[in-house]
Structure 1
Amino acid sequence: MVRIERELTHLVRRAQRVQLHTDGPVEPLERSAYTILGFLNDEGPMRNGALAARLYLDASTVSRHVASLQQAGLVTREADPEDGRACRLRLTSAGRRAVAGTRQVRRNAVRELIGSWPIDEQDTFAALLERLNAGLDGRVTEAMAGGAPSPSGASPDRSAATPDEAGSKEVLRA
């Protein structure tokens, strides 16, 4: 456990310091914008409150971020067909391009780090990361509900935590 804790601490510290740069035409999105836009890209239009719940954030926090994204032309608001008084957030074509470009930059960075690993090790690494994230999701879900974390750490909605690879089993083959 000591080694795992140390390596996770090192990983988080390095990940916070690393800025993904590209020499290409795409400037990667910053983390909060990428997370919000990734959900809208993967899940489709949704209300601000629903997005906030999926991200485990306060609706006012998401609203502030969405206002910036809307001003940048990456998100638009539309009437909710189920309730005309409410609005849904929808990704614009510029928003979809920004998500796609950022995903490519991120995948390239991962490819540089582990692309030389054998495919079976990449698959194992991906499976272990999925399992770790599922455990973290379970703890967040329990904390948000005001209870203690479940021993298994299972999350009822795994898609809520994976805007980058929603449902994809791809590792680095693309």
Structure 2
Amino acid sequence: MNEESLKTIELEMAVLIRRVASINSRREESLLRSAYLLLLHISTNGTAGVKTLAADLQLDISTVSRQAASLEQKGYVEKAPCPADKRAYFYQITELGAKELQQYKEARMKKLTMLLEDWSQDECDNFGELLKKFNYAIKEL
């Protein structure tokens, strides 16, 4: 990679992060980004304990515990006892949580559709694949 490409990527990443933070700070959302990812993970992968969620989402256990407690307080998840260890528990999504997740996801998809409406299908496909590749590279750090 040449230095000019690296400079462009660095600058555009900084701009992207600033703009996303700005958008998130000026609107009231029912789910915070972190809560969305936690709820999505439970919805997609099924019940999970705090340690598993923390490892999968690359967060510390206290952060996941705090986020899960907030989701439980809102009625989006509930605790289910662990069959192997009665002292432990798993989080599972509730009907209300699934409904909220679906509404939030639909709103996100609508915004993305508006942002990308002038993009070709190839551009969207390439962008998605490159984002996936970039996110994977970050995960491996």
TM-score normalised to structure 1 length: 0.72
Q: 1:130 matched to which residue of 2?
A: 132
Aligned CA-pair RMSD:
1.7
In the TM superposition, structure 1's runs of 4+ consecutive aligned residues that sit over 2 Å from their partners are: 19-22, 81-85
**Unaligned regions of 5+ residues in structure 2, if any?**
1-5
CA offset at residue 28 of structure 1?
Answer: 4.0
Structure 2 residue 46 is matched with structure 1 residue 44: yes
Deviation at 1:33, TM superposition (A): 1.2
Q: Is the deviation greater in 81-90 or in 69-78? A: 81-90
Query: What do the CA deviations read for 1:60-82 (whole angstroms, capped 9, x no partner)?
Result: 22111211111110110011123
Counterparts of 2:70 and 2:133, CA distance in 1:
33
Do the aligned residues in 2 keep the contact of 1:28 with 1:101 (CA within 8 Å)?
Answer: no
Q: Distance in 2 between matches of 1:28 and 1:65?
A: 13
CA distance in 1, matches of 2:60, 2:131: 26
In terms of fraction of residues, the more helix-rich structure is 2
Identity of aligned residues (%): 35
- SS of match in other structure, 2:129: helix
Q: Does 1:107 align with 2:127?
A: no
- Tell me the residue number matched to 1:8: 13
**What amino acid does structure 1 have at the position aligned with 2:12?**
E
The answer (yes or no) to whether the contact 1:28–1:105 under 8 Å persists in 2 is no
CA distance in 2, matches of 1:116, 1:109: 13
User: 1:28 and 1:68 mapped to 2: Cα distance?
Assistant: 12
Normalising by structure 2, what TM-score?
0.88
Deviation at 1:21?
5.9
CA distance in 2, matches of 1:108, 1:28: 16
Q: Which has the higher contact order (CA 8 A, sep 6+)?
A: 1
Q: 1:70-106 CA deviation, whole Å, 9 max, x = no partner? A: 1110110011123333101001011111111111111
The offset of 1:116, in angstroms, is: 2.2
